[in-house]
Amino acid sequence: MGRCRCGEPLALPFTVLEYVHGRSVLELLRQAGKGGGLPLACALTIVHEVAAALHYAHDKAGPDGRPLGLVHRDVSPSNVLVSYGGEVKLVDFGIAKATAHTRATKSGTIKGKLAYMAPEQVRGEAI
């Protein structure tokens, strides 16, 4: 940590991201495709954990208790990580939208991967 001219510590904001020692679901699917596919139990566990993560994000409230209305908008195999210990992590909320605190996205702008978008998002409706 640096110091300012008066000798006091200089605190700078920074972002910390969790390191997930593992692979993306995209990588797992590619590898599994070479050997007959992903076992059903693994696939169901991944889907269950991603659904739980989305539920948590959708129910998240701000300090005032009002729902934030978070919508991930890019849930795809490359944004789901599975650690070597079996933990499933939904990552890259970089294009998430807090519907309660923002106006509409710029018209004509697509956020996310088309193949994984909700139908209402593709149609330009509220998500």
| 3/61 Cα distance (integer angstroms) | 36
Active-site hit among 59, 64, 74, 92: 74
Q: Which residues of 59-78 are buried (b: 16+ CB within 10 A; e: fewer)?
A: eeeeeeeeebbbbbbbbbee
92 belongs to the catalytic site? no
CB 85 within 8 A of CB 67: no
Catalytic residues: 74
